[in-house]
């Protein structure tokens, strides 16, 4: 196949010549066959060819109807896909907004907990300082007695 394509690209005149030559040979063979026929046989051949053409046209019409049905189905599928994509986009926006709200709430909660922890830590330091003072005073009182 590649060789034929390569040959056709670089030798288009030869390819056209070969095509025309084979077409002329087929036409000449058909003419020789027709020349050998009498009037009745010729009419039968024409009727046979017309019948074949009619069947081909009918087949083409049926295939065209099938293709049209397929195209209509594809159009409906594309419409459904557009709707699905739109719904997905809306869902994504909704999830992003919800996630943003939740992350903001978590950050605010973390900051609040950080403040509470600092207050507890300061209170603990004050309590520890008071305990230290009480221990010193208790130790002093024990010495005095």
Residue 124 placed within a domain:
yes
Residue 117 placed within a domain:
yes
With a cut of 50, list the residues of the chain below it in pLDDT. none
- What tokens appear for 144 in the block? 């005095």
Burial of residue 145 (CB within 10 Å: 0-12, 13-18, 19+) is: exposed
Distance CA(15)–CA(8), nearest Å, equals: 6
Tell if the pTM clears 0.95, that is, is over it.
no
CA 102 to chain centre: 31
Q: pLDDT at position 12, please? A: 60
Residue 29 placed within a domain:
no
Residue 57 placed within a domain:
yes
Residue ranges making up the domain that contains 56: 37-144
* Element of type H or E holding 127: helix 39-144
Residue 90 placed within a domain:
yes
Number of domains in the chain: 1
């Amino acid at each position: 196949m590649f060789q034929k394509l390569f040959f056709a690209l670089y030798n288009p005149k030869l390819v056209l010549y070969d095509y025309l030559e084979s077409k002329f040979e087929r036409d000449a063979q058909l003419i020789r066959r027709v020349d050998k026929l009498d009037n009745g046989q010729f009419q039968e051949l024409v009727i046979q060819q017309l019948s074949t053409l009619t069947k081909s046209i009918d087949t083409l019409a049926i295939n065209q109807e099938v293709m049209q049905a397929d195209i209509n189905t594809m159009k409906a599928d594309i419409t459904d896909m557009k709707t699905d994509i739109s719904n997905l986009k809306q869902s994504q926006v909704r999830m992003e907004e919800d996630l943003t709200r939740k992350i903001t709430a978590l950050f605010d909660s973390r900051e609040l907990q950080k403040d509470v922890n600092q207050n507890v830590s300061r209170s603990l330091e004050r309590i520890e300082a008071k305990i230290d003072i009480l221990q010193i005073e208790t130790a002093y009182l024990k010495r005095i007695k």
